[in-house]
Amino acid sequence: MRWLINERVIIGVILLNAFVLFMEAFAIIRHSAGFLLTGIDSLCVVYFIVEAILKMRYEGVKGYFSDAWNVFDFAIVAVSLPSLVEGAPALFTLLRLLRLLRFLRLMRFIPNIDRLMMGGRRALRASIGIFMLVFCYLFIFGLSAHYMFGYQTGPPDASGQAVLLYPEFSDPLLSMYTMFKIFTIEGWYEMSDEIASHCSGIKAHLIRLYFICAVSFGGIVILSLLNAVFVDEMSHDIAARTEEEVEEIGEDVEEMDERMEKISNRMMAKLDEISERLDRLEDRAK
């Protein structure tokens, strides 16, 4: 039964399950072969349950749950269990979406995943301050943009109600989301030009200056700093391994030097011994 929990078998079932979920997304295939796909999907869930049971049997319950990846797998399988039973349409749709989490089990088979996750956790810890700075910056610019542009109205509509000129800033949350899009620098000038087109003179220039500051500091400086921290922390392992390898090479060189020195001392001692023997032979010959 151990072949059922072989890594190749597990990867194969995960890929099969992902393929089934992918094919179910096409309406034509779902209508023509939906029963077959649902059956295969249910069999995959049953296999994952059997896999967990077999691992607990061979590794013991305590040993099974001592592995973080096993806990991760068990949680995904537990979430997948309700998908075996049809419920209310809304609930069933939600459970169908949760089934996609099974594909995440493939992460454990990615080479050096533990090292990558360790680097990711270290990068997140190092970036907490930058995230707080981004939020504060976003809060300030989003709220200020809401008060500056969110209440401006244009000509009334057919019902006589006032129409907001800039609905993107109609409330603080929408305003923060709009400013975040501007921070990404993609098409930021379009919003600036649109707002400035309804103004004239110094006011239009001040609006453009406002968006230039938002993009310069938020979109370039802060986000670039966040990227730099992430890259630096993620590459920390490589630098640390390089330093360790250099230290190991240095230690090997020192060890070789010591060995060479010992060999040299032995050779010198042998040469002295040979010289003494030659001297004694010469004395006897005389």
pLDDT tens for 50-86 read 888 888 888 888 888 888 878 888 887 787 776 666 5
pLDDT, residue 143, reads: 92
Question: What are 107-159's pLDDT values in tens digits?
Answer: 777 777 677 777 677 777 777 877 888 888 889 999 999 999 888 887 777 77
**pLDDT tens readout for residues 157-211:** 777 777 788 888 988 999 999 988 888 877 788 888 888 888 888 988 898 899 9
pLDDT of 13 > 80? The answer is yes
Contacts of 174 by beta carbon, 8 Å cutoff, 6+ apart: 146, 167, 168
Domains (range + CATH), the chain: 2-109 (1.20.120.350), 122-234 (1.10.287)
Q: pLDDT value at position 102?
A: 67
pLDDT at 135: 87
Q: Which of 110, 107, 82 has the alpha carbon at shortest distance from 96?
A: 82
CA angle 116–118–122, rounded 5-degree value:
115
Q: What percent of the chain has pLDDT over 70?
A: 85
User: Looking at residue 88, what is its pLDDT?
Assistant: 45
Residue 29's CB: how many other CB atoms inside 10 A?
14
Q: How confident is the model at residue 265 (pLDDT cuts 50, 70, 90)?
A: confident
Q: What is the pTM of this model?
A: 0.55
Amino acid at 94: L
pLDDT score for 173? 92
Q: What is the mean pLDDT of residues 23-27?
A: 84
